[in-house]
Structure 1
């Protein structure tokens, strides 16, 4: 009998572990070098730097400002260079390659098609370009010996009045790899209920959707997203901790909303590093993800914007391992939570859990 040895949980080993990503923005994950190339090709002259390292640093520093508004400003540059078919195909293909290289086996990547219409591209053409890019990236990853599947989420911007149109677009492409819908953009002053017609349409169409809620704005945002709009998942959802009281003796009391979210297993798409940048938490160790994980909410770990946060799925997990002393079983739990919560079919999710995720972690745990 050979002796089975557990692999130490190092950052290098975490890269090899199968991971699942549910909350990642296409326009927040470009390679700095690609931003520079595309700016040159498109005559976009507003970049704050044209050196690869300097530009990468600029994105992280600007995003580190502690303000969601300043954080969102960084997207003017990535969206600015994503205004034609070639750019969208390239960005999506590289996204798939980069995620696969980081050990991600299934990802849902989101973007707002309306942000890429500045040079006259039609919404359908935008969706088709991004889908083509993801398929190309999946092929390149496979050629490099890594299997990744990417589903797309289409976002409507909550401050604009196009959410029904984008919801219809998502349903139109549901059989071409668009797995769901989301609303993004500034939370304060733009409650999800402004977009009720879109959510009612999606429910009638048996379509999936998640909602950015409880990042910069508190419990009312989460309550509206779930109870008025019918969100299946919460983008961030970090402020649900405002409905949880931890007493001095360590006993925990969940309010009605927190209980509902936990009881119904509503997935929380948590993005620790991003939350530090926007001021939703002060450090990874103090991030509510620790408490929510110990209370066994349906917690998932995500990157949000890999360029702005200078992060990857592996670096997010490594940060959690360092802060909370998590082991392989915890990382497997986050990964299975995410796969269970994905917007693809039940049998497809089960196959990835049983054929990819569990064997991958069993190997790392020395089983």
Structure 2
């Protein structure tokens, strides 16, 4: 694959925080960036060289992106796959429309992962009310999840009986869903893969993830799992990336079950919230890898420089004024990242901070204390 070198214009579909951090990485490496996002207050658009304020399927905007950008990527999986296909007719697109399509639909995603020989939680596709007439007992208690557009715990309902499942399907608008059997989890982990092509692949250290209300709260690195479990997670993530012939940055989330069994929960064809620790704790971060893989360059080193804990900052801690950032910024080993969003809302990701230390447990304790101070000034 021909290398795309600095000073070239790169395109980004999506202008949220992931697009913003890509833009920062690309510009630091000497590239220019065009962001396509309809929001005039787009966090990425404000930093980009060019901000195209148009819908993701706007033909004129897509044609301008294709004509002016040496390569185009995306920050979220729900960008229209047809937009990626249109762009790919005239410029390099990574990841491909086919890869993104797999992650857009939980039914297709789980079937693909299982077809690649990798374990997923037992599931049933519930596409119509008639699908609820089959025997559901092997998948209850479970979680009914919208097949499309569900994220951060949205579009998911816990169910224990057939009647609850029927009511949940109606509550979700009778849209296609997956019914996934609820499993007894020891913990959850994730792996970020960076792949330019065959033989040009690497993974970041495994992150241990904790959620609140379906939203990622904390990532702990290195994950507190056995070395063999961490290696198996990396191997499974690489196996999936190879099966997809994936080009770009891919996040793979896992459930760790009793007996240290691993099953893949879901994937994201882009950098991921659980990889934000890489911004401060690795030689290259996940957004630099996104630039590298998009430009046909081999992935950089993913060596972990120190243990690290990432804590999400949600709009919940914004009250009448800005949070007490002085408490965080007074610590020499804490790194604050805010996303440039003008309006704070409950549950909205406004930023994150990383705490680096010498040992996982003491670093986690410090990060949790800092989180409590920000929540209760």
With normalisation by structure 2, the TM-score equals: 0.29
Higher strand share: 2
With normalisation by structure 1, the TM-score equals: 0.30
Higher helix share: 1
Higher relative contact order (CA 8 A, sep 6+): 1
The structure number with the bigger radius of gyration is 2
